Amino acid sequence: MSRIRNVDWEDDENLAEDLKKYVLANLRRSEVLDFVQRDYPQYAWSLGTLSRRMSYFGIKYVDYNLTVAEVEEAVCEETDGPGQLLGYRALQKKIREQHQLAVPRALVYDVLTKANPEGLERRRNVGRGKSLHW
């Protein structure tokens, strides 16, 4: 008995773009799987298949090859605006979704401590129940 293998997905640029969009929207793999099963029913899907196809397209949830300058620019832009009181985890999510950078959370924390140490201290004090005095 021979298996028929559908390799058309390898050349499907729309699939690659959609997978990247879903990952940058911070969707879990199970949620991504639901979307691709709906949008690409011509291909077989499972969580393992999704992982292999994401690997084939080079799509990762965290990109460790980002430069510090790219992350600094995004962090400074967000901390200069309404995101000045965001913690590093919320800031990392915002950078993922709005700046389309799959940045590691630890790098956001490091850049934030360098770029805005006073703001980090203010956020720490707010979390401890102290008042906000600029």
Question: CB-based contacts of 109: which residues, under 8 Å, 6+ apart?
Answer: 88
- Residues 48-58: tens digit of each pLDDT: 999 999 999 99
Residue 108 structure tokens: 């956001």
What ranges do the domains of the chain cover?
Answer: 8-57, 68-127
Q: What is the pTM of this model?
A: 0.73
The one-letter code for the residue type at 115 is A
Cα–Cα distance for residue pair 66/84, rounded to 1 Å: 22
State residue 43's pLDDT score.
Answer: 93
Radius of gyration of the chain (CA): 19
Helical segments of 28-87, H only = 29-39, 47-57, 68-80
- Residues 21-78: tens digit of each pLDDT: 999 888 999 999 999 999 999 999 999 999 999 999 999 999 888 889 999 999 989 8
**Mean pLDDT in the chain?**
86
Question: CB-based contacts of 88: which residues, under 8 Å, 6+ apart?
Answer: 105, 108, 109, 112
Per the CB < 8 A criterion, the answer to whether 13 and 50 are in contact is no
